[in-house]
Structure 1
Amino acid sequence: MPELPEVEVTRRSFAERIAGARVTGVRLGAPLRWPLGCDPETLHGFTVGEVQRRGKYLWVPLLDGRHPVCGLLLHLGMSGSLAFGEPGAQPGKHDHFDLFTTRGVLRLTDPRRFGAVVWSPGLEHGMAAKLLSGLGREPFDPALTPEVVHAALKGRRTSIKAALLAGDIVVGAGNIYACEALFCAGIDPRTACHRISRPRAERLLACVRGTLAQALELGGSTLRDFRDAHGMSGAFQSQAQVYGREGEACRRCGGTVRRIVQGQRASFFCPGCQKR
């Protein structure tokens, strides 16, 4: 599943090229997770603004002149990807949305159709507000301090891995990055949230940020079919310390990397390096 680094890499790969383009048409393929929510023809003539990201969602604002009128909220689902390029290529079986503009076509390809393109009158209104309301802070938000993280963890009895995946404290630490951040911080993924001390919360926050920053630098992770809007794959998976390395030697202590299942998700960790 594309996580925050992959979504941000995708945003960067087409945001500058599409900004200022005028919408000339919309094509809908097979139904996605949610309906578009408007008549596609009503989007014609709007100008595309600066594409933004919130968590794993992309917001494509549509302007009338210089004034925002509405926008499209996009989610890549389990296996979706966006491509932005010249018009002409006929849509394939898994191409379910095209936004035609004067600078090219933004196309969503999604074999499993868990992704979405949803119209909304604004980020803080309509469907966008509903979908984004439960998200935690962005990982690089200065307001996300160790004190904030520690306070949020104190009242929870769930595992720290589950809390990271929930995304209501901090967004972006999906399964790969949660495993890697916990290894970096030396915290066993089974540790109960309320047992995380203030110093460990500070270390964990630094590791979440460091892990996501490295992933962004390496273009995200490609485990199956992730590509950015240029068609480029990510390389973070080749640098992983524990994720996907069950039975292999820990690169830090030489112990054996283990795999367990938490909430139907695989967790990889080193028992020697990560303590409860």
Structure 2
Amino acid sequence: MPELPEVETVVRGIRPNLIGKTIMSLWTDWPRSLNTTTEDEFEARIAGQQITDVCRRAKYIIIALDDTYLMIHLKMTGRLYVTPASEYHDADRWVHVKFGLDTGEELRFSDSRKFGRVYVTNSIEDITGQLGPEPLEDDFTLEVFKSRFITRKRVLKALLLDQTFVAGIGNIYADEALFRAKIHPERRSDSLSDAEVARLYDTIRAALMDGIQYEGASITWYRKPDGTKGDSQNHFYAYGRDGQPCLECGTIMEKIRVAQRGTHFCPTCQSLS
């Protein structure tokens, strides 16, 4: 599933091609993607509205309109791109939602597994209200991060995947952050010292910022809006490197299951003892 860096890359890719344009129509062959009772109801709420901003909250893409919001969650296989209506792309075979624009272009949502969701809402908080803080915002300080550990006594990898704890981190960047912090993914959150919490705070932010710099990880379905791959997968320290030598110490990396997710770590650099 695309995580914060991948979603941020999509936002940056589509923003210049959307702001100032007007949504004229909606087409879908999979109405279950929509959060309204009918396709007609959804279209009535967005048709004729101008796009004023494109941003992100956690893994949600937020398209601000004149007096409402269009929100999209890519889930496992979602792709979002802007294209002239007359053009065909390989990803179009999985397009299930299209938004017609006043410029003769379309915003297309391709999603082979059909798990993605498209929302129209007057309140972003109605969709995102349970999410934790954004890890790259200035107000997400070390003190804020430490305070969120106080009442939590959980396996650390599971905690990092909990979107109510910190928003936007998924399996990939949790593994990367834990490796950089030299902390075993099965450590209990209440076992960390202040120094380890501080180290993890730094490595979460560093891993996510690197992910954005390299424009996301194209391991399976994720592609940038222009159809090309991101490059993050070529810079991983941990994720997907089981059976390979650790880049820090040379020990063979291992893979276990934590919180029902494949988890990659170095048994030497991230010792559990």
TM range (shorter): over 0.9
Following the alignment from structure 2 to structure 1, what is the Cα–Cα distance between the partners of residues 36 and 225? 21
Deviation at 1:147? 2.2
Matches within 5 A, 1:82-121: 82-89=80-87, 92-103=92-103, 104-121=105-122
Alignment of structure 1 residues 236-255 onto 2, 5 Å: 236-255=232-251
In the other structure, the counterpart of 1:23 is 23
Q: CA RMSD in A?
A: 1.6
In structure 1, distance between residues paired with 2:42 and 2:217: 35
CA contact (8 A) 2:7 2:61 kept: yes
Give the TM-score normalised by structure 2. 0.92
Q: Distance in 2 between matches of 1:25 and 1:14?
A: 18
CA contact (8 A) 1:219 1:234 kept: yes
Answer yes or no: is the 8 Å Cα contact 2:178–2:184 preserved in 1.
Answer: yes
Aligned counterpart in structure 1 of residue 168 of structure 2, from 164, 169, 172: 172
Deviation at 1:185, TM superposition (A): 0.4
Deviation at 1:70, TM superposition (A): 0.7
Q: Structure 1 CA distance, aligned partners of 2:169 and 2:155?
A: 14
Amino acid at match of 1:159: V
The 3 A distance-change label for structure 1 pair 84 and 36 is farther
Query: Deviation digits for residues 137-165 of structure 1, max 9, x if unmatched?
Result: 11112222222222212322211111100
- Cα 1:35–1:184 shift into 2, 3 Å: same
Partner of 2:54 in structure 1?
51
* TM-aligned CA distance change 1:36 to 1:6, over 3 Å: farther
Shift of 1:249: 0.8
**Equivalent position to 2:139, from 125, 143, 152:** 143
Secondary structure of the structure 2 residue equivalent to 1:194:
helix
Note closer, same or farther for the CA distance 1:28–1:80 as it changes in structure 2 (3 Å cut): same
Contact 1:24 1:101 in 2 (8 A): yes
Q: Distance in 2 between matches of 1:97 and 1:121?
A: 20
Q: How far, CA to CA, are the matches of 1:188 and 1:41 in structure 2?
A: 51
Distance 2:167 2:175 in 1: 14
What amino acid maps onto 1:21 in structure 2? K
2:13 matched residue in structure 1? 13
Distance 2:95 2:169 in 1: 28
**Residue 247 of structure 1: how far off its partner (Å):** 1.6
SS at match of 1:154: coil
| Secondary structure of 1:248's aligned partner | coil
**Contact 2:157/2:259 (<8 A) preserved:** no
Query: Is residue 231 of structure 1 aligned with residue 227 of structure 2?
Result: yes
Question: Percent same amino acid at aligned positions?
Answer: 32
Structure 2: gaps of 5 or more residues: none
Q: 1:261 aligns with which of 257, 261, 273?
A: 257
Report the counterpart of residue 194 of structure 1 in structure 2.
190
CA deviation profile, 1:28-59 (whole Å, cap 9, x unmatched): 12134443453413422110111110000011
Letter paired with 2:79: S
TM-score for both structures, normalised by structure 1:
0.91
- Of 151, 158, 175, the residue aligned with 2:154 is 158
Task: Summarize deviations over 1:79-108 as a string: whole Å, max 9, x none.
Answer: 101011111146944211111112421100
